[in-house]
Every structure is written in structure tokens, then in C-alpha cells.
Structure 1
């Protein structure tokens, strides 16, 4: 897998996590721990994107 395709895949995962977090935050019966886990994963992906981009 080339670096650019890997970055594209990471960006897609990051966007999907963002959408999932938004949906969960709008739901009244959402577990805060689940949202925190998704946000942590999202941050890890963002950090990897930044690291690979520079």
C-alpha cells in the first residue's frame, strides 16, 4: 500500500468516526464511555495522519 493510499484510508476512517461520534452524541441513551473510546481512536488516527504527512 502506498503512503498516499494509506493516508486516504486513515482520513476516511477519521471521517467515519467523526460521523459516528456526532450520531451518538445526539442520542439520549448513549454511553459516554463509548463516545470517549471513539474520540480517543479518532485522535490516534489524526496523530498518525499528521505524523505521516510531515
Structure 2
């Protein structure tokens, strides 16, 4: 969190987060985004759902 506080108001990439692994960086970014604590520099597009197979 300190990294993000000191980076504000600049946007930083998920890859630059000071975590041990990429999975941890993604998990942290996801949790913070879902709770409205961070935002993206560009609007996110909704994921397209693949057609259901029958």
C-alpha cells in the first residue's frame, strides 16, 4: 500500500507492484480494484462470454 500511496497520482502497472510473484501482484490488484481502492488509466471493457456448448 505504501508503494501506491507514494506513487499517487501517477498510474503504475501491475507488474511494478512490489510483490514476490506475478500471481501475488495480480491478486493484490484484483482485490484493490474490486473494493474501489484503485482504478485503471483506461476504461475496462466487459469480458465477452464464450457461447455455451451443447
Larger Rg: 2
For the criterion TM > 0.5, the same-fold answer is no
Report the TM-score range of the alignment, normalised by the length of the smaller protein: 0.3 to 0.5
Higher helix share: 1
**TM-score, normalisation: structure 1:** 0.34
